[in-house]
Structure 1
Amino acid sequence: MRNPISVYFSLALAMAIVGSSVVVGKLMVKTIPVFLSSGIRFFIAAAVLMILLFWIEKGIPALSKKDVFVLLLQSFTGVFLFSICMLYGVKLTTGMESGIITSTTPMAVGILAFFLLKEKIEKRMAAGIVLAVIGVMAINLFGAGGEAGSPYALMGNLLIAAAVIGEAMFTLMAKLLSPHISALAISAFVSLFGFLFFLPFAVIEAVSFDFSVPGLLDWSYVLYYALIVTVLAFYLWYNGVTKVPASVSGIFTSVLPVSAVVLSGVILKEQFTLVHLTGIVFVIAGIFITVLKKEQKKDSGKLAS
């Protein structure tokens, strides 16, 4: 089945936006605290997504107790912990290194699926994971320069790695949800629960925060994170993944580190070094080996049938 160019464009643009979130997040937390900015972001995103849910699907789907528990766990790992680790991480390390490390999410999913869901890791998947790990290790051992040579750059990279694990857990939890729950409903509920998780901490920061300090540009970062990263990127991604094999959509995850690296250089004026090039080459090679393995297996199955 032939896939239109518009579908590939949606997938690529979605990952480019996710890559841009690394840069925007770094700019956002310079003036607005992590919990406060995240609370506002998920309040806006949840409101928009709930409106879309009622508009498109005409109401809230029936949820079992298991579904509610899984959605809460998804939100806690993939929204709450992910956001905390990501936003505190980008304060300590560079946008380039954050983007490259974040792109290892598919490998993290594979590793956690092996330990938690007992899914088999085949040889090519293992090779892809090894390449990605080499890329990330190269960055952490030789390129962790952080903010103006910050001694906390390695800690920042470790926080980004923890964020990757949270995102991988979010992905795995989706397999436990009832099949009748749509992607839009999942996104709306995890955003709503994410807002509730952040709310008490956001209120504490809001009490002592001077709202006159951030300018219009600073608040626009929060709005961008809510509407573009959380809502639009979600729509574009699911508009694509529903029309192509998972293995094909997986290839487009390699756009994420490229977007983060390019935007970090252009907007944050960070220097792109040989270490970054080495790391990103290994990571992208690992992604391609991983997803192409699935595609070849799928094609061989078709031939056999």
Structure 2
Amino acid sequence: MTTDTLTSPPVAGRPSHVAGAATAMFLVGTLAAVSGVITDYPLYGGQAVRYAAAAVILSVVARAADRGRPPVRLGARGWTLLAALSLTGLVIFNVCVIEGTRASGPSLVGIVLGTVPLALAVLGPLTSGGTRRAPSARLVAAALVVVAGATLATGLGSGNLAGLAWSLGALACEVCFSLLALPLLPALGPIRLSARAAAVAVPFLLAMGAVTDGTGMLRAPTAAEALSLGYVTVVVTVVAFFLWYRSLPRLGPDRAGLFAGMIPVGAMATAAVLGRGVPSAADVAGAVIVIAGILLGLSAPPARAASGTTTGSRRRAPDAARS
């Protein structure tokens, strides 16, 4: 039978949701330092292995959690949203980040991705379906503070037009990763959504790898590459995806987006732990500014719904059915 999902307007969220969002984005930030170990491994093949393994792990966890419950089936609209989420937020995002880094270095990519909080603070409330509302002025101000801190922590490096284009592509994909998930989360929940998004990404990556690398898209990894791929699979994909998708609907995309400022903080901390660089005074100052901006945003009162919409309304999940 088809089910309706009762949704409520985003709230400030419990401490566990705040901690989950912060941890998720911090873990995503660790990817930059760890991925340096697998730069020689075929790009698309490595990403396909990563998401395939993550999908298996998440599916096992989801099956155990859903024992005794009927499965959720997505209709045409649901599968379309899921495919768009996977293609943009997982596949194209990784391509844009890697190609942007190759074109102009990591600084420009980090600076542009530092504007994710601002983008979600503005776009999130305007695209939240039945709870659509005007952006909060305090949240927008807080997002600007987070952007400033993320930029300072990343470093104002030089760039070029190609690097800027790839970085803007990564920014758009990162926004899609959150906004396209919101209609799917009521039906699937964070574990099943993460599992299905990872699984859908695999054929996209294999097809791209077959075109670019042919039979060389997969090879046996070295010990260091295997450890790095394992970390990226379990920590950056399985754990971070679950924490992010668990926190996103409770915080709302505007508040949750503030925690994207933790990405450069995670990168900075991981680089220091791995001996790839000691944080500078600007790095530390940027991290402090990011945290201040997040606290400012979390103190903002919930925005009122825009005229003509109803908060807390019953909203139907996209073609989701339980059989």
TM-score of the two chains, using structure 2 as the length reference: 0.70
How far off is 1:282 after superposition?
Answer: 4.6
Aligned to 1:301: none
Q: What RMSD, in angstroms, separates the aligned Cα atoms of the two structures?
A: 3.9
Aligned residues: 286
Aligned to 1:208: 216
How far off is 1:235 after superposition?
Answer: 3.4
What is the identity, as a one-letter code, of the residue corresponding to 1:201? M
Aligned to 1:33: 42
Aligned to 2:89: 78
Aligned to 1:198: 205
How far off is 1:5 after superposition?
Answer: 7.9
How far off is 1:216 after superposition?
Answer: 1.2
What is the identity, as a one-letter code, of the residue corresponding to 1:42? Y
Aligned to 1:69: 80
Query: 1:42, 1:195 within 8 Å by CA — same for their partners in 2?
Result: yes
The one-character-per-residue Cα deviations of 1:152-186 (angstroms, maximum 9, x if unpaired) are: 6x855763453232121121112333732222121
Of residues 169, 188, 195, the one that matches 1:181 is 188
Query: 1:21, 1:225 within 8 Å by CA — same for their partners in 2?
Result: yes
- SS of residue matched to 1:262: helix
The one-character-per-residue Cα deviations of 1:70-127 (angstroms, maximum 9, x if unpaired) are: 1111111111111111233344566677566545433222233367667422321232
Aligned to 1:22: 32
Query: 1:14, 1:234 within 8 Å by CA — same for their partners in 2?
Result: yes
Q: 1:60 to 1:112 in 2, by over 3 A?
A: same
Of residues 145, 170, 174, the one that matches 2:177 is 170
1:231 aligns with 2:241: no
Query: 1:107, 1:129 within 8 Å by CA — same for their partners in 2?
Result: yes
CA–CA separation in structure 2 for the residues paired with 1:234 and 1:269: 26
Query: 1:35, 1:198 within 8 Å by CA — same for their partners in 2?
Result: yes
How far off is 1:40 after superposition?
Answer: 1.3
CA–CA separation in structure 2 for the residues paired with 1:113 and 1:53: 28
How far off is 1:139 after superposition?
Answer: 7.4
List aligned pairs for 1:268-287, cutoff 5 A.
Answer: 269-270=276-277, 272-277=279-284, 279-287=286-294
- SS of residue matched to 1:269: coil
Aligned to 1:55: 64
Percent of counterpart pairs with the same letter?
Answer: 23
- SS of residue matched to 2:299: helix
The one-character-per-residue Cα deviations of 1:13-58 (angstroms, maximum 9, x if unpaired) are: 4343222122222332x21132121111111112222222333224
CA–CA separation in structure 2 for the residues paired with 1:131 and 1:215: 42
Any stretches of 5+ residues in structure 2 without a counterpart? 1-12, 305-323
What is the identity, as a one-letter code, of the residue corresponding to 1:39? A
Any stretches of 5+ residues in structure 1 without a counterpart? 146-150, 298-305
Q: 1:92 to 1:275 in 2, by over 3 A?
A: farther
Q: Which deviates further from its counterpart, 121-130 or 194-203?
A: 121-130
